[in-house]
Amino acid sequence: MLAGLGAAAIAGPAFAKTKSSPVLTLNPALPPGVLDTAVLDSLPGKKPLIKLTYRPPNYETPLWGLRTALTENDQFFVRYHLSVIPEMEALRNNYTLTVGGDAAGKEVSFTLEDLRRMFKPAEVTAVCQCSGNRRGLFSPHVPGVQWGVGAMGNAVWSGIRLKDVLAKVGVKPGALELGMAGADGPALAATPSFDKSLPIGKAMSDDVILAFAMNHQPIPHYNGFPLRLVVPGWTATYWTKHLTRLDIRTKPVDSFWMQKAYRVPKGMFPVEQPFTSQENEQTAPITEMVVNSLITSHDNGAKAPANGFVVEGVAWDRGRGIRSVEISFDGGVAWVPAQLGKDLGNYSFRPFSLRTGRLAPGRLSIMARATSNSGEMQAEKLKFNPAGYNNNVPLSVSVTLA
């Protein structure tokens, strides 16, 4: 945790349900413990989100918060591993980013004002998705935060290019990885700090930025204020919040969070840029997102008119962009092409919609599947892994037609 910054663990539930509160509908495939305990709850600066844990804070975006291509800041999901969160005022008044390491030309500390003044602005629209999104829908269930579908969001991220900052400091030959650390910290000294890394080639790509703003507003406290690393196309475990330290390294980061956690069986998922310095014979770090889609217009158990209605949702992938989305009304036997909405960039949610014709009254199961511009399609069967990552099987939404 950044020296000199005050820190505070968050308090318990702060949202009292009222008559005007939205009704929370959870996927029945979630574990019973989640179905029994998950509630709508508010953090400072946030609308009610689905509280799964509050120390550390892990709050999921409800389905209604994902019905637009850009996710509102106050509805954006919150994910922490460590329970000591730096205070907003301390971050605002006593903040520096230090860049160094054994492969750096020099060590330099930047204030926020330095970063804004010294480097050209950059912007990217990108999906931020927890690696464990939909973990709670694995069968059999696996340990970890039992996320439903809302451990993700899409935003316009504004800041400066990471590669410009690294170039200013100097990157020596032999640089292998970039280590990252933030100001959040553990409650107990024995708990490992959340230290992560990127391959230096990824860190030097044009799309990776240090973001000051989210949807053209300062990044919310619980989403990484005042500076967050944005790594489009890669899962959010690399999107370090409250960023305070960058180390240009000649050796791999050997932290718990790189070498033990956030790993999958080697070769299980397609990747375009392998993280070879962190691979071993059996496993590799989870990195790139897989193509996926979500129907957002209807909760499970919703009612719809039999004379026709509109199915809507969003699709996304690692950054190739979405070629097509198809809808099925018969359990995946036949598929009908949906209409794609506005393209906000290859890293963004891509909206889709389909207006149905008249349908027979009764129960109806709706599914969506997306295909990326690279030809990658959602998986027909779950690729089971012990950590519950990259669940991209088409989900079934049950509605009642009348």
End of a domain among 263, 285, 307? Answer: 285
Question: Average of pLDDT values for 371-379?
Answer: 97
Q: What is the mean pLDDT of residues 107-128?
A: 98
Pairing of the two strands 97-100 and 243-249: parallel
The reported pTM is 0.93
Query: What band does 8 get if pLDDT is binned at 50, 70 and 90?
Result: very low
For residues 209 and 313, membership in a common domain is answered with no
**pLDDT score, position 90:** 87
Residue 191 belongs to domain with CATH number: 3.90.420.10
Q: How far is CA 384 from CA 326, 393, 396, in A?
A: 24, 11, 18
The answer as to whether 373 is a domain residue is yes
Which of 267, 285, 303 terminates a domain? The answer is 285
Say if residue 12's pLDDT is above 50: no
**Does residue 28 form part of some domain?**
no
As to burial, measured by CB atoms within 10 angstroms (0-12 exposed, 13-18 middle, 19+ buried), residue 227 is buried
- The answer to whether residue 325 scores a pLDDT higher than 90 is yes
Give percent of the chain above pLDDT 70. Answer: 95
The residue segments making up the domain with residue 373 are: 292-401
1: pLDDT strictly greater than 60: no
For residues 258-271, average pLDDT: 96
370: domain CATH number is 2.60.40.650
Kindly state whether residue 234 falls inside one of the protein's structural domains. Answer: yes
Q: Model confidence over 125-147: pLDDT tens digits?
A: 999 999 999 999 999 999 999 99
Q: Which pLDDT score is estimated for 21?
A: 55
Number of structural domains (the chain) is 2
**Residue 72 domain-assigned?**
no
Identify the domain boundary among 245, 267, 285: 285
Whole-angstrom CA distances from 395 to 32, 259, 316, 367 are 19, 32, 15, 6
Chain mean position to CA 399: 28
Do 106 and 218 sit in the same domain of this protein?
yes
DSSP string, 294-356: EE-S--TTEEE-TT--EEEEEEE-SSS-EEEEEEESSSSSS-EEPEE-----TTS-EEEEEE-
Taking alpha carbons only, the member of 60, 44, 50 closest to residue 22 is: 50
**One domain, residues 148 and 226:** yes
Task: Say how far apart CA 63 and CA 39 lie, in whole Å.
Answer: 14
Here the tokens at position 238 are 């690399």
Mean of all residue pLDDT scores within the chain: 94
Report pLDDT digits (tens) over 19-58. 345 789 899 999 999 999 999 999 999 999 999 999 999 9
Q: Are residues 152 and 245 part of one domain?
A: yes
